[in-house]
């Protein structure tokens, strides 16, 4: 039997506990049927941690995250915490995890399953067969730059300010990840910034071009302004393979790409740190792109697929369990092809299933697994 694989589970708020619960069912099944043992621990984050401890992430939970092989994250936030001071709002727990684990590379795939091509807000011919990867720099940029704050000016008017900044080394390492990903895909990178109006964008373009010329000349590199990229994603999305961009633009563009797939409930993500020079292991956190959706929390309406696909990425990137990742991804493709739909991806004539019913269908398909992952098909 394979050695225990340590995973910290942080369900969080809203629909987080519901969708994470479906992944735990898959984990339990794998423990029994796939000859692999996961050592799962669980902690509080976001509003759940605020309610119990007064802060969105305790030092103890942070320490736990630093000493496991991977973190599986649900979602954070909700209207009951919106009036708290900015520094203790639920989202600060997730930002602390990303920063202290040094998770600088955020992989956000957007793949349209054949069965859902009609669910996209775009015409079917524009999205059928879509498979793009948005690589977002995660620990720099305007979300972490200093100075930041809200101040009262001498006139009495208040001013809010944030700082967008990147160092050469921060740009170099995310660019390298992008080029390495492209080599395993269609060998094309689109670097996205706003070099026409932002000095940080000028540096981003210069450094990315240099890394390409010196280390990855075999990969096709193009540059695009972020606003144009947003337009092109909804105009002709299949022109892209790997999009490499900064923290802010990556946040926006990945949500834009979500609607190409039909729903935020379909998009997983992986946040990876640097390789340990001795073990080769990376600290990693896996989470769905969607938020906490407090309006449907606790009603059995949440789509668990993004969380399940995030678990597939965990298997692939943290444990090198490609065959098991294929099994999970294949199950998602099959249940969608069989017509299972949660409300967010249902058409007018589709039968809507609950969160648990979708989980039941996924587990049943895992039992019958024989085929390769959708991404491995020719």
Residues catalogued as catalytic: 143, 194, 227, 251, 255
Query: What backbone phi and psi angles, to 5 degrees, belong to 10?
Result: -125, 85
Edge to edge, the sheet with strand 188-193 lists: 38-42, 5-12, 70-75, 282-288, 268-275, 105-111, 131-137, 242-245, 188-193, 220-225
Enumerate residues 6+ apart whose C-beta is below 8 A from 252. 226, 230
For residue 137, list its beta bridge partners: 105
132 contacts 243 by C-beta, under 8 angstroms = yes
**Rounded CA separation 112/258 (Å):** 10
Return the residue matching tokens 């080599």. 183
CA 334 to chain centre: 22
Angle, CA of 128, 254 and 122, to the nearest 5° = 35
CA 88 to chain centre: 23
73 contacts 106 by C-beta, under 8 angstroms = no
For the chain, helix (H) and strand (E) counts, in that order, are 12, 12
Coil, strand or helix at 180: helix
C-alpha R_g of the chain: 20
Coil, strand or helix at 12: strand
In b/e form, how buried is each residue of 202-230, taking b as 16+ CB within 10 angstroms?
ebbbebbeebbeeebeebebeebbbeebb
**Rounded CA separation 78/84 (Å):** 11
Enumerate residues 6+ apart whose C-beta is below 8 A from 210. none
Provide DSSP, 355-373. Answer: HHHHHHHHHHHHHT--S--
**Rounded CA separation 141/137 (Å):** 8
Query: What backbone phi and psi angles, to 5 degrees, belong to 243?
Result: -105, 125
Encoded tokens for 376: 């491995």
């Amino acid at each position: 039997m394979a050695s225990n694989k340590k995973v910290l589970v942080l369900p969080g708020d809203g629909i987080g506990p519901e969708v994470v619960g479906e992944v735990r069912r898959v984990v339990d099944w794998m423990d029994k049927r796939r000859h692999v043992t996961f050592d799962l621990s669980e902690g509080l984050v976001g509003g759940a941690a605020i309610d119990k401890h007064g802060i969105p992430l305790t030092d103890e939970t942070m320490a736990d995250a630093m000493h496991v092989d991977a973190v599986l994250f649900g979602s954070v936030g909700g209207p009951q915490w919106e009036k708290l001071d900015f520094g203790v709002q639920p989202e600060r727990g997730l930002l602390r995890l990303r920063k202290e684990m040094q998770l600088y590379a955020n992989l956000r795939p957007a793949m349209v399953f054949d069965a859902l091509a009609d669910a996209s807000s775009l015409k079917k011919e524009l999205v059928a067969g879509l498979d793009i990867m948005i690589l977002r720099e995660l620990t720099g940029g305007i979300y972490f730059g200093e100075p930041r704050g809200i101040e009262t000016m001498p006139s009495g008017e208040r001013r809010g300010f944030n700082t967008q900044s990147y160092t050469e080394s921060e740009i170099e390492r995310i660019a390298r990840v992008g080029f390495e990903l492209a080599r395993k895909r269609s060998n094309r990178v689109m670097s996205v910034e706003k070099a026409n109006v932002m000095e940080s964008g000028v540096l981003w373009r210069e450094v990315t071009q240099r890394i390409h010329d010196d280390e990855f000349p075999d990969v096709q590199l193009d540059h695009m302004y972020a606003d144009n990229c947003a337009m092109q994603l909804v105009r002709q999305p299949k022109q892209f393979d790997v999009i490499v961009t900064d923290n802010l633009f990556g946040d926006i563009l990945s949500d834009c790409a979500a609607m190409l797939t039909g729903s935020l409930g379909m998009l997983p993500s992986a946040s990876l740190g640097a390789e340990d020079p001795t073990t080769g292991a990376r600290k990693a956190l896996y989470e769905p792109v969607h938020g906490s959706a407090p309006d449907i929390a606790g009603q059995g309406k949440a789509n668990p697929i993004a969380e399940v696909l995030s678990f597939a990425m965990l298997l692939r990137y943290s444990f090198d369990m490609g065959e098991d990742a294929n099994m999970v991804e294949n199950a998602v493709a099959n249940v969608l092809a069989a017509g299972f739909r949660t409300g967010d991806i249902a058409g007018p004539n589709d039968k809507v299933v609950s969160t648990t019913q979708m989980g039941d269908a996924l587990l049943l398909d895992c039992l019958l697994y024989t085929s390769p992952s959708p991404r491995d098909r020719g």
